[in-house]
Chain A
Amino acid sequence: MKNTLLAALLILALGQLSHFGLPWWSLAIIAGLIAAWLCKSAWQAFAAGLLGGSILWIIAAWLLDSANESVLSGKVGQLFQGASSMQLLWLTGFMGGLIAALGALTGKLGKDMLIKPSRKGYLQEKRRR
């Protein structure tokens, strides 16, 4: 659980790198690397990605939208079958979540394929040593 939250938090933090010129799909790779490093199971990886990615995208969008008083999202919503600003925010969050979740899942399963997973997670193993 702790690892999942930590992974989610890191995805949220590092996902903002795309602010500095990285393409949007870099979120999937970032989530994949973090999940491979921290997550103990595929489910955990998926959950961490979903959580981190969706919160990242929805908050980033919400900050811009509220400063803008939803002027633009009201207009863009009309292009998406009359979606409201709120619906656009959810859609954004859902997309960010899905991109990160699938990225994280792939990262975790990729690591599992290369390195046989231990019963315990990385942190526990480290502590034991």
Chain B
Amino acid sequence: MSLHMRFIKFIAALTLTLGLLWQLSQPIPMGDKSIPPLGSFFNPFSGFWTNAEPAGKPGFKDIKIPGLKGEVEIVYDDLMVPHIFAQNLEDAARAQGFVTAQHRLWQMDITARKASGRLSEILGERTFKLDRIARRRGMVYAAENDLIGWKKSPATMQLLEAYTEGVNAWINQSGPSDWPIEFKLLNYTPELWTPLKAALVTEAMAETLCAWEDDLENTNTYAELGADAFNYLYPEWNPKQQAVVPDTGQWLDIHPLLPPPFVASTTNALGTIEGQERDYLNDGPITGSNNWALSGAKTKSGKPILCNDPHLNLTLPSIWYQVQLHTPEMNTYGVSLPGVPGVVIGFNENIAWGVTNVSQDVSDWYKIHWTGSDRTRYKLDNEEKTVQFRYEEIKIKGKPIFRDTVRYTVFGPVTYDFDPENPLKDCALRWIAHDVPEQSAFDAFLGLDKGKSYEDYKNAIPGFDSPAQNFVFASKNGDIAIQPQGKYPVRGQQQGRFVQDGGSWMNAWHSYIPAALVPCMKNPSRGFVFSANQHSTPPSYPYYYLGNFEDWRSRRIYNRLSSMTQATVDSMKNMQMDNFSQRAADALPIMLRMLDASKLDAEGQSLLAEFKNWNYRYESEMLAPTLFDTWFDSCYTATWDEIAMLENQPNGKVPTDDLNRSKNAKISMVYPEAWRFIEILETDTSNVYFDHPTTPEKETARNIVEESFQKMQAYYRQHPDKKVAYGQAKGFMLKHLGLIDAFSILDLKIGGHRTAPNAMSQTNGPSWRMIVELGDQVQALGVFPGGQSGNPGSKYYDNMVETWASGNYYELLFLKSAGENSPRILGRQKLTAK
């Protein structure tokens, strides 16, 4: 064979080999997603196979990590909860960072990325809009401001830095074989953690919990309906409501100086603003939570019991990560947020605490008066002000960098001016979570983690400003308390309800409710405190506030707690799993009364029979709740057709009452709250809104109820497959954070409803159920829908789901020392200084 021939053969083989290697190193496009490069993904030494954790008993290796001051011992229990025993707080924080990274690194990464508008770096153009809005809403600006505030408490900052270094110690000693599978699927590598990312995680929480407002929708609704109809349909206070902190005369002598009422003429002057703001934003105000504490007088043991179940987006990996932190100055157990140090909801030997969202509106829009078309200067009273530019660089995979300029006014960023179609294009966003905080959010939680008494609780939380939370508290020595803690602007009546005039400084937030007047309650004679995202106070509270408040769970919880005696841990379980809907209990009797059963045919009679013995519970195996939701929604939408017409929607569709607003409206408006709808249905049956403007007849509430019953009947005749038990009809799911179906649980057959204490929505619900009975020995139960590990290849990824779904709990293993023995201990790991 000639040399020439051998050369050709070699080149051919080389080309073929390089071709194969190249092919295997390229992601394979599939629609707008892609399959990862096959070579690295299938390589059994560092690809996805290495994420296949042994299903047997796990082993734990001792590890050296830099920066530790002493030795740390970590005890893992049978739920893979780390119990960290450290000789000082800094070491505990460092170890917490290390173990959290080991289990949840990708979740931390994606949460910080989403908040900072950096998804497109890894996902390409499909997340560009989301990134741009995150930047333009000032998420990074807010996180940077957090750090400025947090640095005011150097001790806490040191803990945050130790936590960060702990995370990075794990990253630095890991290789591709250790990295979470999502990095491999999405074909990118982990980045080091930073304090800024921790701030982004807390801002992501703020975005979820306190960014909701109805300014545009209320403005339009007011302009379209006029003052009388608006005030009639949208009262702010439900008289049946039980506020978090009731009026006990504590505000009698308090007469703060308030800004003038927000005048309606200003609202009218703005008029109707066409367009849709929220194409980019997901979710509605469906997140909520319950917490309560009972004094010893209400419990069988005579010891206080505290419960909390925060309702959040139910994802896999779970939003929460359980941990016990033990140092000479504290011993605390509870759930933490991956990415930030400390325990957020939990207990120690002396106290227990929990949080629910306060749900006050701390997010306002101000209409800016530009003085030129370049939008660099604007009028404020008699002055002309210049905007400050903030430059955002959005990296997009496979595309050039996108550079965005965001204009900041004295109120905040002008979010939507890039989009001439957006109704808020000339408005600036004033959001509490943009502010430099008074102190670190961790100060509050670390204070509670270490707390021993009511005084410690009262000292710990006042610096916590956003997202405002109802901090419930109980202590071993018998105190119970609750405080809707946050930073709240002092508002004039109705201020913040509508888009405001940004041409007048008078409309800005000038002061905040002083700490001493933030509502609070300690040891009430009724023997319990509670919150479920309802109003913080009754209208007699001397300050005006507004928000998105819950009306059903709180009433049910109040009723049950009021009548409860001899409470035990079991009765608490029963309450957290309570599927009784106050909405159904209020509405159904009225609807049944209005329905003329004699007019129904046999099929209608059989549907009606389903309701006869219904106990208003949304249980998985029941048909009645499926039917009721359809009937109620139908009533609701048939009533508010006038609003849909005013909204000028292309499809004329009325939303259901859980959103109160529609998509694709030319003019976005807000729909009445369900409690008000039911009230009008009962008390004002000939209200003009019951009449269909499109028919010559004059319909009343009775007609609406009958007509919607027939609609329901027709619907199930056409779709017999939908006439199924509630759990099946609803399609509850736990979605993977990266929306990968294979890593999700998509067919949960459970009960619950957002209007019941067990507040399940399709993808939202009790993200952590905790019950703590304080006493000489703390008895604590808890469960969340997921597992400690974020790895879909681990048996600890979703091992708690079944227990959670069936309404069961785990005894939380609260260790006194590292040496304590328990059959539930899986293994021990020592961390020592490198």
- Say whether, besides A79-B740, A91-B42, A95-B24, A106 and B52 are in contact (CB < 8 Å): no
Nearest CB in chain A: distance from B27 CB, A: 13
| Residue B571 CB within 8 A of the other chain | no
Q: Is the interface of B mostly helix, strand, loop or mixed?
A: helix
Asked if A102 contacts B17 (CB within 8 A), the reply is yes
- Contact check, B55 vs A67: say whether CB atoms are below 8 A apart: yes
* Interface-central residue, B9, B44, B51, by most chain A CB under 10 Å: B44
B13 touches A78 (CB 8 A): no
B52 x A64 contact (CB < 8 A): yes
Which residues of chain A have C-beta atoms less than 8 A from B185's C-beta?
A: 79
Return chain B residues, CB-CB under 8 Å to A76.
48, 181, 742
Asked if B44 and A61 make an inter-chain contact with CB atoms under 8 angstroms apart, the answer reads yes
Interface positions, chain B 464-488, Cβ under 8 Å from A, are none
B42 touches A67 (CB 8 A): no
Asked whether A18 and B14 contact (CB < 8 A) given A24-B39, A79-B740, the answer is no
Contact at B741–A78, with CB atoms within 8 Å?
yes
What residues of chain A lie closer than 8 Å to B53, measured between beta carbons?
68, 72
Report the nearest A residue to B39, measured CB to CB.
A24
Residue-wise interface mask of B (182-212) relative to A, using a CB-CB cutoff of 8 A (1 in contact, 0 not): 0001000000000000000000000000000
Q: How far is the CB of B29 from chain A (nearest CB, A)?
A: 15
Which B residues touch A44, using CB under 8 A? none
Within 8 Å of chain A (Cβ to Cβ): is B38? yes
Cβ-based interface call for A4 (8 A) = no
Query: Taking the nearest CB of chain A, how far is it from the CB of B628, in angstroms?
Result: 35
Name the one of A16, A78, A112 contacting B45, with C-beta atoms under 8 angstroms: A16
| Bound: A106/B46 CA distance, A | 25
**With an 8 A cutoff between CB atoms, is A110 at the interface?**
yes
Taking the complex as formed, is A99 at the interface, i.e. its CB lies under 8 A from any CB of chain B? yes
Say yes or no: B45 contacts A113, CB within 8 Å.
no
> Are B20 and A98 in contact, CB atoms less than 8 angstroms apart?
yes
CB atoms of B742 and A112 under 8 A apart: no
CA distance A102 to B10 in the complex (A): 11
Chain B interface bracket (under 10, 10 to 19, 20 to 34, 35 or more): 35 or more
Interface residues of B in 741-796 (CB under 8 A from A): 741-743, 792-795
CB pair B17–A71 under 8 Å, yes or no, is no
Q: Are B175 and A21 in contact (CB under 8 A)?
A: yes
Q: Which of A82-129 contact B (CB under 8 A)?
A: 91-92, 95-96, 98-99, 102-103, 105-106, 109-110, 112-113
Contacts of A60 in B (CB 8 A): 44-45, 49
Interface size grouping (class) on chain A: 35 or more
Given contacts A64-B50, A106-B14, contact A75 B742 (CB under 8 A): yes
Known: A65-B49, A72-B51, A73-B52. A28 touches B17 (CB 8 A): yes
On whether the beta carbons of A69 and B55 are closer than 8 Å, the reply is yes
- Report Cα–Cα, A67/B794, bound state, in Å: 11
| Residue B565 CB within 8 A of the other chain | no
Choose from A18, A68, A77, A102 the contact partner of B43 (Cβ within 8 Å).
A18
| A67 CB contact (under 8 Å) in B21, B54, B792 | B54
B24 with A64: CB separation less than 8 A: no
Q: A76-B48, A95-B24, A95-B42 are in contact. Are A71 and B795 (CB under 8 A)?
A: yes
In the complex, whether B40 has a CB less than 8 A from a CB of chain A is: yes
Separation of A72 and B345 alpha carbons in the complex (Å): 31
Q: When the two chains form their complex, are residues B795 and A106 in contact, meaning their CB atoms are under 8 A apart?
A: no
**B-chain residues with CB within 8 Å of residue A69 when the two chains form the complex:** 55
A49-76 residues at the B interface, CB under 8 angstroms: 57, 60-61, 64-65, 67-69, 71-73, 75-76
A106-B17, A110-B10, A112-B6 known; 11 new pairs, CB 8 Å cut-off, are: A16-B45, A18-B43, A60-B45, A61-B49, A64-B44, A65-B49, A78-B742, A80-B35, A102-B16, A106-B10, A106-B13
- 21 residue pairs bridging A and B, Cβ less than 8 Å apart: A25-B24, A25-B25, A60-B45, A64-B44, A64-B49, A71-B792, A72-B48, A72-B51, A72-B181, A75-B792, A80-B35, A95-B24, A95-B42, A98-B20, A99-B24, A105-B16, A109-B6, A109-B13, A110-B13, A110-B14, A113-B7
B residues near A (Cβ < 8 Å) are: 3, 6-7, 9-10, 13-14, 16-17, 20-21, 24-25, 35, 38-40, 42-56, 175, 177, 181, 185, 740-743, 792-795
A-B CB proximity, top 5 nearest: A72-B793, A68-B52, A60-B44, A24-B43, A78-B742
